[in-house]
Structure 1
Amino acid sequence: MNVVRITCLATVLALAACASTAERRQFEQEQLAIYSKHAGEPVDRIRSFRLISWQPAGDLNLLLEARLNEWYWLEVDGPCMELPYAQAIGVKTSMNTLQARFDSILVEGQPCRIRTIRPIDYKAARAELRELRESRQ
């Protein structure tokens, strides 16, 4: 009888994990769509770059605050496996300029080359994400 209970419990937990994983992936896709909606056209570089803040946005994207309240959405070449879980990142730049296709984000010492850089209306994107989270509660 205990084996049946344990098997049933394991099955229920596995199904719950699948559901939460599917929900998390759906939210990540919606999050990326919101960032894309609020991002401008790609730029080749960020001059006078200084990393103030950052946050991951999936496996291949992150947001960087390059100057006070000036945010950019970066897409990096894969694989950049540890990006969603990184506690810190480094940036390999060229003379205080961050360049797409040449410079890299360093995650756990591994370089992830920057594919694109797009300015983003960070405040508008965060407000829309907050509304999305509240609608799900």
Structure 2
Amino acid sequence: MSLRTTAFILLAALAATAAAEAPPSGQAERLALATAHAGEPVQRVRFLRPIHRSEVLDESHVLVWESLSKAWLLELRNGKPCPGLDWGFAVTIETQSDSINVDNGYVISKNDVRCRITSLRELDVPAFRAAEAAQASGGT
């Protein structure tokens, strides 16, 4: 293998690692919008149906979509990074019942690191979506 090929492979590996560690483009803005449109913290959220999906916004914030029209902003570890929380992987939410709570709720990262949920805030989904649309069209 030539030196040029080795250097290219090394640079590609470093770029892939950096891309895996950095949030996708627009996630910082999405987190800002979610934070701006989240209500007051609550102690517990009871789910009457399975979670629709989850979305990693950064290393300490996850949006949990109960349905297309209901979502919760979870803060982990009081805003400290949760190692292994990756934008490309599903998030496991550990609960002892059909609810998530700040007393004993955890998000489990891809490396099986348990990150304590320290805040649960309901997202005003219509306002969040309207703000996203306004931002996408160049408005504020």
**TM-score, length-scaled by structure 2:** 0.67
Question: Do the aligned residues in 2 keep the contact of 1:101 with 1:116 (CA within 8 Å)?
Answer: no
1:26/1:87 Cα in 2 relative to 1: closer, same or farther (>3 Å)?
closer
List per-residue Cα deviations over 1:31-71 (Å, max 9, x = no partner): 33321221111010112363211111122111112256221
Q: Distance in 2 between matches of 1:58 and 1:68?
A: 21
Question: Do the aligned residues in 2 keep the contact of 1:57 with 1:84 (CA within 8 Å)?
Answer: no
Instruction: Please state which structure has a larger fraction of its residues in strand.
Output: 2
1:44/1:27 Cα in 2 relative to 1: closer, same or farther (>3 Å)?
same
Question: Do the aligned residues in 1 keep the contact of 2:86 with 2:109 (CA within 8 Å)?
Answer: no
For residue 102 of structure 1, give the secondary structure of its aligned residue in structure 2: coil
1:132/1:48 Cα in 2 relative to 1: closer, same or farther (>3 Å)?
closer
Greater C-alpha radius of gyration: 1
Query: Which residue is 1:112 aligned to?
Result: 115
Q: RMSD of the alignment, in Å?
A: 2.6
For residue 127 of structure 1, give the secondary structure of its aligned residue in structure 2: helix
**TM-score, length-scaled by structure 1:** 0.68
User: 1:39-118 counterparts in 2 under 5 A?
Assistant: 39-48=38-47, 50-67=50-67, 69-77=69-77, 78-108=80-110, 109-118=112-121
1:125/1:91 Cα in 2 relative to 1: closer, same or farther (>3 Å)?
same
For residue 57 of structure 1, give the secondary structure of its aligned residue in structure 2: strand
Query: Which residue is 1:131 aligned to?
Result: 134
User: 1:7-18 counterparts in 2 under 5 A?
Assistant: none
Flag structure 1 segments of 5+ consecutive residues without an equivalent.
1-23
Instruction: Please state which structure has a larger fraction of its residues in helix.
Output: 1
Flag structure 2 segments of 5+ consecutive residues without an equivalent.
1-22
Q: Distance in 2 between matches of 1:95 and 1:26?
A: 35
For residue 32 of structure 1, give the secondary structure of its aligned residue in structure 2: helix
For residue 83 of structure 1, give the secondary structure of its aligned residue in structure 2: coil
